Amino acid sequence: MSEDNFVPALDEAELKDGSMKLVHVAGKDILLTRVGNQVFGVSNICPCKGCLLSKGKIAGYIVTCPCHGWEFDVRTGQYLKTKEKRLMTYRGEIKDGKVYVEVF
């Protein structure tokens, strides 16, 4: 993918280490999480019953849905219990004080 697909989403200071933030870029709701200087983006809708993951919790690389506790790895989007369910993933990066996310 070309670097052209990365668009600015936030100032770096708005996404603290260990936190998550919902952004709306290129017509998509993307949940960004940060672990150190790594940024990961996933879709915000839980594939269980459609709850918003942005209202859940993040711990390390794992986001937990607030409704029924499904857990997903933000690095891969994978639901931890079965391989059949997963979130869309979006690459993120921090550059020049901004958080960028790759949209396609």
Q: Binding residues for ligand FES, per CB under 6 A?
A: 46, 48-49, 51, 65, 67-70
- Ranges of beta strands (E only) in the chain are 6-11, 20-25, 28-35, 38-43, 57-59, 62-64, 71-73, 89-95, 98-102
For the CB of residue 46, give the shortest distance to ligand FES in the complex, in Å.
3
For the CB of residue 100, give the shortest distance to ligand FES in the complex, in Å.
28
Give the residue with the Cβ less far from ligand FES, 10 or 65.
Answer: 65
For the CB of residue 12, give the shortest distance to ligand FES in the complex, in Å.
29
Cα 16 to Cα 20: distance, rounded to the nearest angstrom: 8
Give the residue with the Cβ less far from ligand FES, 10 or 53.
Answer: 53
